[in-house]
Each structure stands twice: as structure tokens, then as C-alpha cells.
């Protein structure tokens, strides 16, 4: 497992939940570390199960504890235990990640459709081999990281997490290269369309 993935540990008796909650709410970093050791494995397991991607689960786990630290003043023990509060934050972060994944997939799908439509409009009457060649030429002009991500996405039909695993790049980097690459391709094809 990655060093970022919290490992389960037995909580010493002195680290009772109420003491940890009080310490966390008071801004005690040692309490945050103890809370992370105690509930980090649960949060990571929830994220891993929901997202199916270890790197994304690690990101979510970090986000949950960062959000807990930043929002520690809002924790109300009378409304639920510390574990329930952290689990609630995790569920919101997981839902956000799944929504973002869906939005990204829809954006990529829309961009691919738009690129195909624009490409077809520019070269109406040409056969698909010529169109694919033109698109391949435009892809070849992109910086290597953007080109790699888009080729794996378009031609290999890989998702962003699969591309991250394939390339060894962080998921956020893959997403950035995809966005920039699609934007560049769109601009190039719009220029080609205006020039025709």
C-alpha cells in the first residue's frame, strides 16, 4: 500500500473519542494525527469501494481530513460521533468525485463529438481515412503529454484513472493534459474551419 494510505492501528485507551474530538476542535495537530490514524483506514476503504481507484481514494482520504481540520469548529459531538462526522464528510467528497467524473466524461464525449462534427464540416466530401489522417496530424502537433492522454482516451478508450495508471502520472495531471489538449484541438479545428 502507498505511504499515503493510512494503516489501521489500535487506539490507546488515552485516545478516547471525546478527547480526540476535543483536541481536534481545539486545533491540536497531535489529535488530528491520532484521528487520522484511527479513522483513515475506514475513510480510505469507503472511497476505494465507491471509486474503484486507489489513487483517487488516497486523494479523497486526504481531502476528508483536510476538510475536517478546516471545519473542526463546526463539529458538534451531540449530533453524532467523530467517526460518523468523518464518514459524512467522506460521503460528500466521494459524491463530488463521482459527479466530477461524470461531468468530465460528458465533456470529453461532447468535445469528441464536436471535434468530429467540426472535422466533418471542414472536410465534407472527403472519406473517413482522410479525416482520421487530418485529426492524427493535429494530434501530432500537440505537446507530447497532451497527445499521449488524448490518444489513449480516443483510440484506446481508456478512462482518466486508467490513463494515470498506464502512464504513472497523477490523476490530476492526466485530467489537466486532457483539458488542455481538447481545448487546443478545438482551437486548431475552428481555425481550419474558418480558413476553408
Contact assessment for residue 131 and residue 120, using Cβ atoms and an 8 Å cutoff: yes
Measuring CA to CA, which residue among 2, 94, 96 is closest to residue 47? 94
pTM of the model: 0.52
CA distance from start to end of the chain: 54
- Model confidence pLDDT, tens digit, residues 100-136: 777 666 665 666 665 655 444 444 444 455 556 667 7
- Model confidence pLDDT, tens digit, residues 13-57: 445 888 888 888 888 899 999 999 999 999 999 999 998 888 889
Phi, psi (degrees; rounded to nearest 5) at 174: -60, -45
Regarding the domain delimited by 17-97, which CATH topology (the fold level of the hierarchy) does it fall under? Rna Polymerase Sigma Factor; Chain: A (1.10.1740)
Q: Does domain 123-195 have CATH number 1.10.150.20?
A: no
Domain range summary for the chain, segments of one domain joined by +: 17-97, 123-195
Q: What percent of the chain has pLDDT over 70?
A: 71
192 versus 146: which is more confidently predicted?
146
Q: What percent of the chain has pLDDT over 90?
A: 28
The grid coordinates listed for 139 are: 494530434
Q: Which uninterrupted H or E stretch holds 25?
A: helix 17-25
Cα separation, 167 vs 169, in Å, equals 5
The grid coordinates listed for 122 are: 471542414
pLDDT of residue 119: 43
The grid coordinates listed for 39 are: 479513522
Cα separation, 42 vs 31, in Å, equals 17
Cα separation, 92 vs 74, in Å, equals 16
Count of beta carbons in the 10 Å neighbourhood of residue 69: 15
Measuring CA to CA, which residue among 55, 76, 57, 89 is closest to residue 174? 55
Amino acid at each position: 500500500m502507498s505511504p499515503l494510505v493510512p494503516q489501521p492501528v489500535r487506539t490507546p485507551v488515552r485516545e478516547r473519542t471525546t478527547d480526540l474530538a476535543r483536541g481536534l476542535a481545539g486545533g491540536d495537530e497531535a489529535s488530528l494525527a491520532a484521528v487520522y490514524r484511527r479513522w483513515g483506514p475506514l475513510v480510505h476503504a469507503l472511497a476505494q469501494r465507491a471509486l474503484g481507484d486507489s489513487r483517487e481514494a488516497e486523494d479523497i482520504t486526504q481531502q476528508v481530513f483536510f476538510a475536517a481540520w478546516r471545519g473542526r469548529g463546526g463539529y458538534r459531538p451531540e449530533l453524532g460521533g467523530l467517526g460518523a462526522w468523518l464518514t459524512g464528510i467522506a460521503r460528500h467528497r466521494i459524491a463530488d468525485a463521482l459527479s466530477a467524473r461524470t461531468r468530465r466524461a460528458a465533456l470529453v464525449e461532447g468535445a469528441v463529438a464536436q471535434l468530429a462534427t467540426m472535422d466533418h464540416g471542414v472536410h465534407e466530401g472527403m472519406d473517413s481515412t482522410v479525416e482520421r489522417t487530418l485529426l492524427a496530424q493535429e494530434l501530432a502537433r500537440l505537446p507530447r503529454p497532451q497527445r499521449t492522454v488524448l490518444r489513449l482516451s480516443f483510440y484506446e478508450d481508456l478512462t482518466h484513472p486508467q490513463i494515470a495508471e498506464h502512464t504513472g502520472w497523477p490523476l490530476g495531471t492526466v485530467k489537466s493534459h486532457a483539458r488542455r489538449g481538447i481545448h487546443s484541438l478545438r482551437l486548431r479545428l475552428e481555425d481550419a474551419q474558418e480558413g476553408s
